[in-house]
Amino acid sequence: MSNVTYLPWVPSEEGEPTQARVVSFESVVDTAPERVAETSPDDVYESLLRKLAISDMSAHEVRLWLREKELDEAQAEEMLAKVEHLGYVDDYRLAQQLLLRLTNRKGQGRSAIAMELRKRKLSPNAVDEALQTIDQGAELDRAIDQAMGRAPGLQRLDRATAERRLQGFLARRGYPGDITREAVRAAFMEYPPVG
């Protein structure tokens, strides 16, 4: 800890202003080592249940969290199996929830969704099953909606530049090339570039 210097205009214990003085906190601070409270597996389990009540986690994320709690491997796997059996951890359900959020709220395409699901370390089977539920027609509709929202701002540009920018925008959103081209064509039929 650093020392504190008192200012001259601050009265001393006698009530008179004093010269600057230095006081060390060494005598005030307890130098005893901190004692870390050991947590029992039951406490860790209760904490995990509270955490899962707030937000869903993948099985991989639960494993990592349990490792941080310094449980032995057998206890951690037993705890994970228990919460999976109770339905609190389900990679398939989490994959579907993320898929709906990413498509409906963020308007993302298949490759961006796949990347997000893999980033969460969901089981490969859960990721594949979720991606198979994406309807190509609905994906095209989302891409067209995204393109229609962006196209009016590109009307002042020449057609080649506007197409390049809109295709780049949709590609960053995770839409494949064929859907991107069709969405750009539909958007520019409604909002043609005039630049």
Residue 140 to residue 136: CA distance in whole angstroms: 6
Q: Could you report the per-residue pLDDT of 112-149, keeping only the tens digit for each? A: 999 999 999 999 999 999 999 998 899 999 999 999 99
Q: Could you report the per-residue pLDDT of 4-28, keeping only the tens digit for each? A: 555 555 565 655 555 555 555 454 4
pLDDT confidence of residue 101: 93
Residue 181 to residue 89: CA distance in whole angstroms: 39
What band does 32 get if pLDDT is binned at 50, 70 and 90?
Answer: very low
The closest alpha carbon to 89, from 53, 114, 116, 117, belongs to 53
- 42: number of CA atoms within 13 Å, CB side? 0
Which residues fall within 8 angstroms of residue 150, CB to CB, at 6 or more apart?
Answer: 166, 169, 187
Structure tokens at 186: 């539909």
Say what the pTM is: 0.68
